Amino acid sequence: MQIAIPIYPAFTALDAVGPYEVLQRLPEADVVFCSEERGIIRTEQGMLGISADRTLDEVDRPDIIVVPGGMGTRTHLEPDDPYVRWIAKVHETTEWTTSVCTGSLMLAAAGVLDGVDATTHWGARGLLDQLGAHSVPERVVERGKVVTAAGVSSGIDMALHLAELIEGTERAQALQLGIEYDPDPPHDTGSLEKASQEIVEMTGIAMAGEYDRASQMHSLGEPTAG
Amino acid sequence: MQIAIPIYPAFTALDAVGPYEVLQRLPEADVVFCSEERGIIRTEQGMLGISADRTLDEVDRPDIIVVPGGMGTRTHLEPDDPYVRWIAKVHETTEWTTSVCTGSLMLAAAGVLDGVDATTHWGARGLLDQLGAHSVPERVVERGKVVTAAGVSSGIDMALHLAELIEGTERAQALQLGIEYDPDPPHDTGSLEKASQEIVEMTGIAMAGEYDRASQMHSLGEPTAG
């Protein structure tokens, strides 16, 4: 069972590594990080580099794809982009096509989400709609063989959901116990619907990544943040 | 604010990347992945490689360290091990010394946890005690400047706790919203105390990493799993 995770400059690390940590523990799982060229791909702030061990061309028939999000998605939304073309092509034969955070924008650009319910980072819901999907404010959305997850950390929940679909409830529970996923966030402010306006605004100001993302969306005619 | 994450062959990716994703968003954060030698360091199954951009020697006065766990920890528990010596040395001047999962075993080997309350992956609690710490079955344990987290995914909770200590509640809430950390695991079986014996046993059988870990602990006179 080949699980391909395409990465590109300025992707968000946890979008990719959360699902990786779950899915690599499935029996028969062969996870491969791939990119346009082999080599080290840097995340948004450049402080973390992950090795792309295969080119996209070398991964031509994965069983599962997990497309991470990140600011870098914004330069991979054109029909002739190599990632967009790769997603459109491999989607024809995947068993599961999945995304985390703004990775769903790339799925949409590839035509995978035309008129389909999907989720994304709360700050990109409008943009997802502009790209032809029907955004819904849920953490994990499964429609046919397409499973999309909301922002960043939600990829862990998505991957456990997928593990259950693939290997059954007990195996998924054992995986969850193996990574001791008994989450206990210090506060209950992890979704747009739960956070105060003040906190939402602070996100935009304090976090360069989110701020830039908002700016870019604004330049695309998108209202900032949500 | 330099945040050093030491990595070594057969570390667990999410242990490192969960905290990275939170802490890199703090203002002034400069996160550096370091290792005995510069280069790509592979996780337990070898399917993910992360770039160590600095040697341990090049990172001699970090403000914060985050020591990830993984099967590889078992070969880094001797007093003259380079990682153990590095932890002991930099701990003298850190503001925060932290670990995720079995990373706490390396802190203990470095003498950081002698008689100190600490946590680790549920399967390694006994081993942590053998190394001189006092293991407590909590998700995040803060004692002075030492903060330890339980298994794998708990590093996210630990990092948000740390972010709150460093930057205050509102900033930590904004960080949490930024990574949309509103966890919703499919089941409530993520801790040893919540899972059935059947699921605990399935973990040992189904997951090679956990099974080897248990075997190694057994060979060290440790009862398997918990």
Q: How many domains does chain A have?
A: 1
Whose tokens are 């667990």? That residue is: B12
Q: Which two tokens stand for residue A80?
A: 């002739």
Instruction: Give the pLDDT of residue B202.
Output: 87
Instruction: Give the pLDDT of residue A219.
Output: 35
Instruction: Give the pLDDT of residue B203.
Output: 84
CB contact under 8 A, A177 and B171: no
> DSSP secondary structure string, A146-205?
EEEE-STTHHHHHHHHHHHHHH-HHHHHHHHHHTT-----SSS--STTTS-HHHHHHHHH
CB contact under 8 A, B175 and A50: no
Instruction: Give the pLDDT of residue A209.
Output: 36
| Residue A223: inside a domain | no
Residues of A in contact with B180 (CB under 8 A): 101, 121-122, 150-154, 190-191
Q: At residue A132, does pLDDT exceed 90? A: yes
Instruction: Give the pLDDT of residue B13.
Output: 98
Q: Which two tokens stand for residue B113?
A: 């946890």
Instruction: Give the pLDDT of residue B214.
Output: 42
| Residue A129: inside a domain | yes
- pLDDT tens digits for A191-206? 998 999 889 988 873 3
- pTM of the prediction? 0.91
| Residue A219: inside a domain | no
| Residue B219: inside a domain | no
- Contact indicator for B171, B30 with CB cutoff of 8 Å: no
- Contact indicator for B30, B1 with CB cutoff of 8 Å: yes
Q: At residue A45, does pLDDT exceed 80? A: yes
| Residue B210: inside a domain | no
Instruction: Give the pLDDT of residue A211.
Output: 34
CB contact under 8 A, A24 and B31: no
- When pLDDT is cut at 50, 70 and 90, the band that residue A12 belongs to is very high
Residues of A in contact with B40 (CB under 8 A): 40, 51
Q: At residue A3, does pLDDT exceed 70? A: yes
- pLDDT tens digits for A78-108? 999 999 999 999 999 999 999 999 999 999 9
Q: Provide the mean pLDDT of chain A.
A: 90
Q: How far is CA B86 from CA A125, B81, B106, B111, B149, in A?
A: 45, 8, 10, 12, 20
- pLDDT tens digits for B88-113? 999 999 999 999 999 999 999 999 99
How far is C-alpha A209 from the chain's CA centre? 16
Bridge partners (DSSP) of residue A52 are A39
Instruction: Give the pLDDT of residue A68.
Output: 98
ipTM for this prediction:
0.90
| Residue A217: inside a domain | no
Instruction: Give the pLDDT of residue A221.
Output: 33
Q: Is B101 a catalytic residue?
A: yes
| Residue A82: inside a domain | yes
User: If we measure between CA atoms, which residue out of B159, B127, B167, B165 comes closest to residue B140?
Assistant: B159
Return the CATH number at B13: 3.40.50.880
Catalytic choice (B22, B23, B84, B101): B101
Residues in chain B where the model's pLDDT stays below 70 = 205-226
| Residue B146: inside a domain | yes
- pLDDT tens digits for A153-205? 999 999 999 999 999 999 999 999 999 999 999 899 999 989 998 899 888 73
Q: Which domain, by its residues, includes A38?
A: 2-183
